[in-house]
Amino acid sequence: MRSPTNVQKDKKMKFKILRSTFIEGLKSVQNIVASKGSLPILQNVLLEANGKELKMTTTDLDISIKSSVECEVVEHGVSTLPVKLLFNSISKVAEGIVEVEIDARESASITAGSARFKIAGLPESDFPRLPQSDDTYAYEIESQIFKEMLRKTSYAASQDDTRRTLKGVLMSFREMKLTMVATDGRRLALVEKEMEFPSSEERDIVLPSKAVQELQRALGGEGKIKVMVQKSQICFALGNMKIYSKLMDDAYPNYVQVIPKSCSESITVDRQLLLNALERASVMTMDEAHSTKLIFENNRLTVTSAANEIGSASDEVPIKFGGEKLEIMFNPGYVMDPLKAIDDDEIRIELNNGHSPAVIKCSIPFLYVLMPLRTS
C-alpha cells in the first residue's frame, strides 16, 4: 500500500474545463501538427495549468502556436498529450465539465460525464522551447485590416517549391506604412496601409506561406494584432493567442521594377460583371490551353475562350473606354483572383498594348500586375 506522500507525488496536474472552451483552444493550435511522420513530441500539445488558465502550445519547429483559455486549476503543472487524439476524444463527448488529471508517468485520465479516457503523454522536458519576444518592439494594426491585406495579396504567391522566397509574402515596414507584396513571377499583388512606427524600426521581412495560412485562419473580429520581429523570427499576438514563425533568410526580389511606371490606356469596368463573364468563359479553357482573350473596343469588352475539339465561349461587358481596339490574352484564373479579393464595385484596368503587363487598380492603395500570355 502506497503512503500518502507517494500518492501526492503521483499527482502531477489536474484541471477542470468546459468542453466547448477546451475544444476551441485545441482547435486553434492543432492545425500545424502533422498526423504522422514527425517526431512523437511534435504531435503533442504542451499543456500548462496555472492560476486560472490553461495554456496550450504546439510546434512543427518552423511555426509555433500558443493559446490560453480559462479553466479551474486543481493542481498546477505541465505535461504534453497527443493533440489530435485529445481533440478527437473531447469532441465526442457531450457539453459539460471535462476533468483532466495527469500523473507523474504522463498518463492522463479524462472524465466527461459518463465517458472515461486514458491517454499516454510525454514529458514536457522533451518539448522544444519557444523563443521569447517580450522585449521586442511591437507594430500594431487592426486585426481585420491585417487579415484583409493578406487576403488581397497571398493568392499571388508562388506554389513552386523551387522558388522558396516567392512562396512567402513580403511585409515592408517603411515610410510610415506597411506594404504587403506577393508574386509568383507572372503576376504581383500589392496593398498598402499607413502606420505609425519609429524610423529605427523600418525593415523588410518575408513571411513563410505556412505562417500566412495560420494567420488567415486565426485573424478576424475586433481588436489589434501586435507584430514583433526579432532576428530570424516573428511573433503575432492577437487576443489570447500567439503565433511564432521563423522568417525566410533570402532577400525578396526587387518587385518595384516590374510595376509599369505609366500606362497609355485606362479602362473602367464593373468588377462583378467582369468576374461573371470570366467565369463563364473559363468553362472552355483546358489545362493545355488555359487562356482567355479580352478585346477592348467601343465601350465594350468581349471575353472569349476556345479549346480545340471542345468548344468555345464568348461574353460581353460594358466598359468605359474610347481608345483604339486592344486585344490581350490572360490566364483567366489570374484575372479572377484579384476580382474576388477586391470589394469595390468598379475597377480600373491600365495597359499600354496587348503585349505589355496590365495593371488592375481600385479605390484603395492596391494594385495587381499581370503578364499577358504570348500568342502564337
CATH number, domain at 170? 3.10.150.10
- What is the maximum alpha-carbon separation in the chain? 96
Q: Is residue 69 a contact partner of residue 60, using CB atoms and an 8 Å limit?
A: no
pLDDT for position 6: 41
Q: How confident is the model at residue 2 (pLDDT cuts 50, 70, 90)?
A: very low
Distance CA 348, CA 263 (A): 12
Give ∠ CA 139-145-146 in degrees, rounded to 5.
Answer: 55
Residue 39, CB-side half-sphere exposure with 13 Å CA sphere: 11
Is the model more confident about 68 or about 2?
Answer: 68
Residue 55 lies in a domain: yes
pLDDT for position 311: 80
**Average pLDDT, integer, range 322-348:** 95
pLDDT for position 289: 55
The region of weakest confidence among 20-29, 51-60, 129-138 is 129-138
| Average pLDDT of the residues of the chain | 91
Distance CA 14, CA 74 (A): 5
Tell whether 227 and 289 lie within a shared domain. no
Domain's final residue, options 234, 256, 278:
256
Distance CA 205, CA 96 (A): 44
pLDDT for position 312: 84
Copy the grid coordinates of residue 135: 522585449
Residue 4 lies in a domain: no
pLDDT per residue over 10-36, tens digit each?
A: 668 999 999 999 999 999 999 999 877
Domain of residue 267 covers 259-370
> Rounded to 10 degrees, what is the CA torsion of 165, 166, 167, 170?
80
Tell whether 291 and 246 lie within a shared domain. no
**Average pLDDT, integer, range 154-171:** 93
**Average pLDDT, integer, range 140-163:** 94
Residue 143 lies in a domain: yes
Q: Is the pLDDT of residue 220 over 90?
A: no
pLDDT per residue over 277-319, tens digit each?
A: 999 988 877 654 578 999 999 999 999 987 776 788 899 999 9
**Average pLDDT, integer, range 177-193:** 97
